[in-house]
Structure 1
Amino acid sequence: MQNSKKIKLFLVDDDALFLKSLEIQFLDNADFDIETFATGELCIENLYKNPDVIILDYNLDGIDNTAMNGLKTLDKIKISKIKIPVIMLSSQDKIEVAVSCMHHKAFDYVIKSETAFVRLQKIITSIFKYQKIEKELNWYMNRM
């Protein structure tokens, strides 16, 4: 990814207040291109826009119980766009939930709290450091 390009970030959460708060924090602290979605279905419909990172709520069916939940959304993302890092976000602090998300190929799991935004920033930074290292390694291996 080039430095001049903004990071395209999808935020997906059915809690409108939390979603707006998260969007404002990202816009205030970095130069992101952000799109927000209240459902997993809307996120899936917009994957053609190729986000760099998706932050996805675990309980997307909290308001509308017919909506696709976070894990089903994660699975659909990974089927069509496996390389997009997805960070799962939830108010649940049960280890079983975090482990389940990781088994479904989430990049990381963050508990909604006062420190969630700082943790998300650190994870996004580590994603791009990892991708840069991966590109350099691939370049090196192809030259051998």
Structure 2
Amino acid sequence: MKIESKIKLFLVDDDAVFLKSLEIQFMEQGDFEIETYATGELCLQNLNKKPDIVVLDYHLDGVVKNAINGLQTLDKIKNTNGGIPVIMLSSQDRIEIAVTCMHHKAFDYVVKSETAFVRLQKVISTIFKYQKMEKELSWYMDRM
């Protein structure tokens, strides 16, 4: 994980209880600067704050009628800044949804459950390991 500063994490979910629970769990870790949003639109409006990672609910249909869903939000994030890793969340444990999210360039897909937080921690750790390897590879390739 980042040593020099806290990880800026956007949590986007229309389930207020689940969102608050995730926020508290990440805040207890101390390595995170958290911003929470109940809609994809609010997340997109704040992308200029340059999150390191976005954790995004698949549905996002519980707060505002006609709000964009998680997949549409994912597409817009990737069109704005394709380098932001997005982890999709859903209460649906269906392989078709996970595959669809991956086709839309999500970094990973996590099912909402009692172990979701632990899984998110592992995925975030993997993201930073992957980014470190990319930087090292780029450094080596520049020298050839």
Give the TM-score taking structure 2 as reference length: 0.97
**2:75 — aligned with what?**
75
Unaligned segments of structure 1, at least 5 residues: none
Alignment gaps of 5+ in structure 2: none
Partner-residue secondary structure (3-state), 1:33 = strand
Question: What one-letter code is carried by the residue in structure 2 that aligns with 1:83?
Answer: G
> 1-side partners of 2:123 and 2:103: how far apart?
18
CA distance in 1, matches of 2:103, 2:16: 28
Q: Which residue of 2 aligns with 1:55?
A: 55
User: Normalising by structure 1, what TM-score?
Assistant: 0.97
Q: Structure 1 pair 111/71, CA: closer, same or farther in 2 (3 Å)?
A: same
| Post-superposition offset of 1:2 | 5.1
For residues 3 and 143 of structure 1, the distance between their equivalents in structure 2, rounded to whole angstroms, comes to: 26
Identity %: 72
Is structure 2 residue 119 aligned with structure 1 residue 119? yes
Q: Deviations over 1:31-83 (max 9, x none)?
A: 20110000000000000011000000001013433111000000000000100
1:1-144 to structure 2, matched below 5 A, reads: 3-144=3-144
| Residue identity opposite 2:62 in structure 1 | G
Runs of 4+ in 1 over 3 A off after TM superposition: none
Q: Is the CA contact (8 Å cut-off) linking 2:12 and 2:40 kept in structure 1?
A: yes
CA distance in 2, matches of 1:69, 1:58: 7
Aligned partner of residue 133 in structure 2, secondary structure = helix
Equivalenced residues, count: 144
